[in-house]
Amino acid sequence: MTEIRKTGLLFGSFNPIHLGHLMIANYMYEFSDLEELWFVVSPHNPLKERASLLPDHHRLEMVNLAIGADNRFRSCDIEFKLPKPSYTIDTLTYLHEKYPGREFILISGTDIFPTFHKWKNWEMLLEFYKFYVYPRPGTQEHELTKHPSVKVFDAPMVEISSSFIREAIRQGHNVSHFVPEKVWNYIAEMHFYKS
């Protein structure tokens, strides 16, 4: 019988991917029982504005540049091929069918909980999947953190955000140490987020 591989899924727009994303991924891999971690690049979050979202292939390329040769991680573009807007439950159903040898675990911040009831089939997500959760600055204690499917980790709080990086670049600031070097070079070369 094939051993089930525990695979963490970190969903995001990654617009752009930054060191905070990599720190969380690093922490979750090293301090949990995950055997691999996938960065799932989302085409468009139904609960977020679409403005200033770079085309899918550029955000995927930046994730690949950030991961490099680190074999603990991989990028996943599965949501590019699914109907838009993408819903987590649909993505997981598809991944479960495509990769039956894996147990998929969602990685998220505590900031998802206040609006979690707006997610499509959110009760089903909690029933069939585990959540590995890291603390986010400014979020309050929520009853869902005590749910049996939810495990909260004492990960360091990271306050870097993609929106901060985009706005800083738009204002002409050098924030090269907030993103991996290859990602920064790609952003500069392509003149992203300038306007």
Class for domain 5-158, per CATH?
alpha beta
Closest among 143, 144, 146, 134 to 110, alpha carbons compared: 134
Q: What is the pLDDT of residues 105-162, one digit of tens each?
A: 999 999 999 999 999 999 999 999 999 999 998 888 899 999 999 999 999 998 899 9
For residue 69, the one-letter residue type is A
Residue whose token pair is 């989302």: 42
Q: Rounded CA gap, 58 and 187, in Å?
A: 9
Q: What is the pTM of this model?
A: 0.94
Q: Rounded CA gap, 96 and 93, in Å?
A: 5
Q: What is the pLDDT of residues 14-32, one digit of tens each?
A: 999 999 999 999 999 999 9
